[in-house]
Amino acid sequence: MTAVQHDPFTPPPGYRLRLPGPTEVPEAVRAALARPMINHRGPEFRAMLAETEELIRPVLGTQNPVIFLAGSGTAAMEATLANILAPGERVLVASHGQFGERFAEIARCLGAEVDVVEFTWGEAPDPAVVGAKLAEADYGALLVTHNESSTGAVADLAGLGRLTQGTRTLLVTDSVSGLAGLEMRQDEWGVDVVVSASQKALMCPPGLGLVSLSERARARVMRNEAMPRFFFDFRKALTAAEKHETPFTPSVSHVAGLHMALKMIEAETLPKVLSRHRRLADALRAGGAAMGLSEFTRASRRSTTVVVFEVPASLQGGDIVRLMYQRHACVIAGARNRLQGRVIRIGVMGGHNEGTILTDLVQLESVLRELGHPVAAGAGVAAAAAFLAGAPEKVAQAAE
């Protein structure tokens, strides 16, 4: 074999991946991803999968078995619905943004009867309103986005869990962009299914989905009248998981990467990881506010993994995103939905530190100025630094 000398796809010097996913992958995780291939039915892989499951349980706040799937977050969402819903079964989607719409679309596409209770983008679902809607019909599941990456609003899963516990309705949440950066207490909150993926706060490349199923969700999966599925059949996956295997060839390297990322989270300790996310997201908000960027999110529970700013009326979101890349090789996100041009979104997912946020603000400041938006020199950085000085790192207090 001939080695390829020059890789034209290596990002430029100074490249900063500041999207709300995929996120930067730490060096130790990249090294784990690059290990030699191993037998996916051998003792090394079984041990690695078993440990990965043990390490992710505290992050999920669960004792459930966890299924690992080759595929992105959307694949894990689709697989989940195909396993817990029967054709024609009614589901309720409490939607508060683009990813709630996606959940509804997947359910419709699979042949479920879908009702949507929609909340204003930027707000979170109101459990009282959802509860009233749940009382109107016999719903097999309630689907909700935990951390709405399109708006920065966070759903009250504990409040929604109180509605579905003791009923036939399974509470299913997409925490693709929340898990490992935002608190999740699956068992305590009564969440039946948590769906997540590798490329957000879990600091891995895209390509690995994961699903944690409560006992009653597993019972639902085992019934016969589910939607057609083969690769994504959770009955096979749950049986294989008992032996620390997967029914088909797993994405071995991704599991190795995830294992390393979870070891890093364990070493830092989960409470510190979560409080670091909150602190950095709040510092970014403080810095943005000082530069005249108001926050789009209105909900009382605001994301710790993505900050969504409104674009000043005189500017276009796309111009900010483009110039951040052209001038600084910094990749932030705009919107590909009804908010197009009106918001910019910056990820605070994974292994970031104060320097990340301060650099974001320096680069944003220069771009805003170039676009004609008045910013006093250093205003954003000063506000963020003042926030950080006044909010020393500490372990998050138990919420709720």
> Which residue is nearest to ligand PLP, using beta carbons?
73
**Interaction of residue 196 with ligand PLP, rule CB under 6 A:** no
What residue type is assigned to position 12 of the chain? P
Closest CA to 157 of 112, 63, 94: 94
**Interaction of residue 149 with ligand PLP, rule CB under 6 A:** yes
**Interaction of residue 177 with ligand PLP, rule CB under 6 A:** yes
**Interaction of residue 304 with ligand PLP, rule CB under 6 A:** no
Site track 216-255 with ligand PLP (rule: CB under 6 A), x = hit: ----------------------------------------
* Burial call 286-299: b when 16+ CB within 10 Å, e when fewer: bbbbbbbbebbbeb
Q: Please, which residue, 110 or 388, has the CB nearer to ligand PLP?
A: 110
Q: Please, which residue, 317 or 380, has the CB nearer to ligand PLP?
A: 317
As measured in angstroms, the least distance from the Cβ of 35 to ligand PLP is 24
Residue 363: which H helix or E strand, with range? helix 354-370
Q: Please, which residue, 256 or 306, has the CB nearer to ligand PLP?
A: 306
Closest CA to 317 of 297, 346, 280: 346
Site track 9-28 with ligand PLP (rule: CB under 6 A), x = hit: ------------x-------
> What angle do helix axes 317-328 and 354-370 make, rounded to 10 degrees?
110
Alpha-carbon separation of residue 230 from 40, 226, 233, 234, 249 (angstroms): 20, 11, 5, 9, 14
Cα–Cα distance for residue pair 66/241, rounded to 1 Å: 8
Q: Which residue has the tokens 């796809």?
A: 9
Cα–Cα distance for residue pair 168/180, rounded to 1 Å: 29
What residue type is assigned to position 148 of the chain? E
Q: Please, which residue, 156 or 365, has the CB nearer to ligand PLP?
A: 156
DSSP state of 150: T
What residue type is assigned to position 227 of the chain? M
Q: Please, which residue, 22 or 250, has the CB nearer to ligand PLP?
A: 22
DSSP 91-135: EEEEE-SHHHHHHHHHHHHHT-EEEEEE--BTB---HHHHHHHHT
Number of residues that bind ligand PLP (CB under 6 A): 12
As measured in angstroms, the least distance from the Cβ of 195 to ligand PLP is 8
Site track 197-216 with ligand PLP (rule: CB under 6 A), x = hit: x--------x----------
Alpha-carbon separation of residue 169 from 90, 93, 140 (angstroms): 10, 12, 5
Q: Please, which residue, 192 or 365, has the CB nearer to ligand PLP?
A: 192
**Interaction of residue 121 with ligand PLP, rule CB under 6 A:** no
Task: Tell me which of 170, 176, 349, 381 binds ligand PLP, using CB under 6 A.
Answer: 176
DSSP 68-95: EEES-HHHHHHHHHHHH--TT-EEEEEE
Q: Please, which residue, 150 or 169, has the CB nearer to ligand PLP?
A: 150
As measured in angstroms, the least distance from the Cβ of 370 to ligand PLP is 29
As measured in angstroms, the least distance from the Cβ of 396 to ligand PLP is 22
As measured in angstroms, the least distance from the Cβ of 254 to ligand PLP is 13
Residues 69-108 contacting ligand PLP, CB under 6 A: 72-74, 99
Task: List residues near ligand PLP by CB under 6 A.
Answer: 21, 72-74, 99, 145, 149, 174, 176-177, 197, 206
